[in-house]
Structure 1
Amino acid sequence: MHKILIVEDEYELALNIQEILINLDYDVVGIFNNAIDVLDFFIDGTADLILMDILIQGDLDGIDLCYKLKDKLNIPIVFLTAYSDQGILDRISKVVYDGYLLKPFTVESLKSSIYLALEKPHRSANSKPLPPTKNTLKIRDKGFLVPVPIYDILFLKADGLYTKVYTKTKTYVIRDILKDVLGDLPSSSFVRVHKSYLVNIKHINSFNSKELIIEDHTIPIRRGFYKELHQLTEIK
């Protein structure tokens, strides 16, 4: 019997979902409404799938929690939400997830989403779990280890024996050279456009043969890189 964890802000709805899951022969191993309790649960607990509400209680929402869990666990996550605005869809599209249900949903759509998430080829009982997809870069900041979402990183800049990491809201300093940090980031998104700069191509606003623009930042590009950058970004 598959074990399912429910993360839902509305307790009555969570109870209704639990009843449906039990009738579908699933084992509900817990109901939580915040990220802290979920993370505590996985210290010793296990689940085969998480039904994840997006707007939950606490500082971390369901999308932030998904980032944290996917860094540690190879577990399918199906999002549940009453919101379909572009901002939320953009954030969801940048994290590895296994299903998306818009509230209110039917029993059949819930059943189908769970089945498909559990029956992906790499979820089979006879196969070894795949290593979790890296969604964050862990940065030590003022004595704390901060998991910074990969998508939020705009670019990185070499600064002697250090590396500055620029995000949408904050700049961090890592005690490693840029070359060493490069291995911790997905090559499909990050490109070294200059000896001192590594950029997230998803955030490039515009560029020419000498420089590129990311939000309010102007970044030089190395000689002869324009054509390759053009292909990478698929900007016509």
Structure 2
Amino acid sequence: MAATQSEIPTAPAAAPAANPLFPLVLQLADTSLILAHRLSEWCGHGPVLEQDLALANIALDLLGEARSYYQYAAELEGQGRTEDDLAYLRSAVEYRNPLLVEQPNGDFAHTIVRQFLFDNFHYHLLKELQSGPDARLAAIAEKSVKEAAYHLKWSSEWLIRLGDGTPESRQHLDKAIATLWRFAGELTTPTALETNLQELGLLPEYAALLPAMQAHAAHVLAEATVPLPAAPFAQQGGKSGRHSEHLGYLLAELQYLQRTYPGLTW
């Protein structure tokens, strides 16, 4: 007997497509979260108490920024996931942070160089995002750019202090620059997703950020008596989910409590 119309199985309704801004906001969230966690590893281990607290405060600023992005990303996705789901229940290949921020702390000079490279990009990006067409993203940027300005000032002053300090501090700084400078290029090299959003006017052109970034870097390095490094081959992949081995270890620690005790609340 032929089935009636009501008996014919139908395919489940397709989930609503996520807003095109979702992957970008998620990328911004991942970047701030991963760097915040790296900086939190300094808590109790800073070279002096004042800088121990400064590192912890920068980590808290970035964590607050990450929360704002994750909350917005969850709304844009519209799949019922929360900020905690996005932060704690994704695998390493699903993260879209650039490789720079997942690099280990190393010594204090390594942390300063990593922070300076990120801050120089982060501050100038937020300056442009705060006048962008998406009101929610602009509001997050407007709040965060004030903190990012302090972060850039702090890391710039320390880079100068290490470069124009003692022979030992200069040796550590030179080694850190040689190790980390190659990761800076990924920050301003757009992925296909970023290029599409730039064409739509939803993301600033990274090329437009470069003159101010390069001018600031040149000024700080001159004050530090450090020659401007030649632009090396840019290590890339993090923004596309291809990460170094360091991210897996970081996430194992970051996500341990939530994965061991799902749904745990304070």
Q: TM-score, normalised by structure 1?
A: 0.24
Q: Which structure is higher in helix share?
A: 2
Q: Which structure is higher in strand share?
A: 1
Higher normalized contact order (CA 8 Å, seq sep 6+, divided by chain length): 2
Q: TM-score, normalised by structure 2?
A: 0.22
